């Protein structure tokens, strides 16, 4: 099994090294746009990886996970609105509020399963979305500008490279934490509940509390992605919490490979690169065609589901520990 995992391990290390090399390479060729683009990709990779903890490993299909991106982003945005730009205040508070929202929402949602779980997570996310629209003081539907976080001279997030490496460090920490979590006893129980929750309950495991804990961890990690997103975009609006964005996160996980640690990173990269360049490519073929890029992306997604059931990550061969 160790030998089978080597191609994947090597691929992950190479991809991380390539990501680490983006800022100096883009600076050398004077293409700062790509540094910003890959910063955005990594932020959504963090969000997708957080979703995969409960979707790929726990079997919980959350259709409202973008709500926690919104909680993290609005925490930074609202504090910035009142002149509190200290990142050592903003980020811990974003983590705390994301955990609180995830605990409250999860305490209700985890009592359901299947399609009912999907619909109730969607309902809660839309509630937060419309709450954001109703906050006229903070821009309502139009959103509001955000000043980037300050870290007392340790980091200058207005420097694109500093912001990039902060996001890269958080992504690396997320992947490492995810690896330790899913291969711990806690992770084994969560994966066992995905396979057969009735059997896990019968042998004495408190299924509800394990699932709730996994859900809170996932929502908290997604909130960190939201705090980073607010710094990257320097803007926050309710659009980041819309159910469509939650659907995008699910697609990223599926395309990259569910139940794998690095799959969501590949899925986020593929999805956002296609979102960026497919409209431009199609616009070159026919005027107005770029607006309908989803008609091309749809068949690509179907082909991946049919012929690469392990997602893009599955193409590297072997099986990751804990894969189903």
- Residue 6 pLDDT > 80: no
**Rounded CA separation 187/189 (Å):** 5
Q: Which pLDDT value is given to residue 176?
A: 92
pLDDT tens, residue by residue, 191-205:
998 888 888 888 888
Question: Which phi and psi angles does 134 have, rounded to 5°?
Answer: -80, -15
Burial 66-104 (b: 16+ CB within 10 A, else e): bbbbbbbbbbbbbbbbeeebebeebbebbbebbbebbee
For residues 35 and 37, what is the distance between their CA atoms, to the nearest angstrom?
A: 5
* Residue 173 pLDDT: 95
d(CA 127, CA 76): 20
Residue 283's H or E segment, with its range, is: helix 263-285
The mean pLDDT of 124-152, rounded to a whole number, is: 92
Q: What confidence tier does 4 reach under pLDDT thresholds 50, 70, 90?
A: very low
Question: Over the stretch 177-194, which tens digit does the pLDDT of each residue have?
Answer: 999 999 999 999 999 988
CA distance 315 to 263: 11
User: Does the pLDDT at position 77 exceed 90?
Assistant: yes
Q: Are strands 144-145 and 235-236 parallel, antiparallel or unpaired?
A: antiparallel
Q: Looking at residues 1-15, what average pLDDT do you find?
A: 65
50 or 295: which carries more pLDDT confidence? 50
What pLDDT sits at residue 308? 72
Mean pLDDT rounded to a whole number for the chain: 89
Q: Quote the pLDDT of residue 43.
A: 97
Architecture in CATH of 2-314: Orthogonal Bundle (1.10)
In the prediction, which pLDDT does 133 show? 93
pLDDT recorded at residue 317:
60
- In the predicted model, is pLDDT for residue 259 greater than 60? yes
């Amino acid at each position: 099994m160790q030998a089978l995992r080597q191609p994947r391990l090597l691929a992950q290390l190479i991809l991380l090294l390539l990501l680490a090399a983006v800022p100096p390479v883009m600076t050398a060729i004077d293409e700062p746009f790509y540094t910003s683009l890959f910063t955005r990709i990594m932020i959504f990779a963090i969000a997708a990886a957080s979703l995969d903890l409960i979707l790929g490993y726990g079997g919980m299909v959350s259709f409202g996970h973008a709500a926690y991106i919104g909680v993290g982003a609005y925490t930074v945005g609202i504090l910035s609105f009142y002149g509190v730009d200290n990142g050592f205040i903003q980020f811990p508070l974003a983590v705390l509020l994301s955990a609180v929202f995830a605990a409250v929402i999860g305490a209700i949602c985890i009592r359901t399963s299947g399609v009912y779980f999907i619909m109730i997570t969607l309902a809660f996310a839309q509630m937060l979305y419309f709450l954001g629209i109703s906050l006229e003081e903070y821009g309502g539907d139009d959103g509001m500008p955000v000043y980037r976080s300050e870290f007392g001279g340790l980091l200058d997030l207005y420097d694109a490279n500093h912001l990039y490496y902060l996001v890269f460090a958080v992504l690396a920490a997320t992947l490492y934490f995810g690896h330790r979590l899913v291969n711990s006893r806690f992770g084994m129980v969560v994966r066992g509940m995905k396979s057969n929750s009735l059997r896990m309950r019968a042998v004495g495991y408190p299924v509800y509390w394990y699932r709730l804990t996994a859900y809170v961890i996932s929502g908290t990690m997604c909130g960190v992605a939201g705090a980073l997103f607010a710094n990257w975009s320097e803007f926050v609006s309710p659009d980041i919490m819309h159910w469509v964005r939650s659907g995008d996160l699910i697609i990223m996980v599926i395309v990259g490979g569910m139940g794998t640690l690095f799959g969501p990173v590949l899925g986020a990269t593929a999805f956002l690169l296609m979102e960026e360049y497919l409209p431009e490519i199609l616009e070159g073929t026919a005027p107005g065609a770029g607006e309908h890029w989803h008609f091309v992306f749809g068949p690509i997604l179907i082909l991946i589901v049919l012929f690469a059931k392990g997602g893009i990550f599955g193409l590297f061969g072997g099986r990751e520990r804990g894969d189903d």
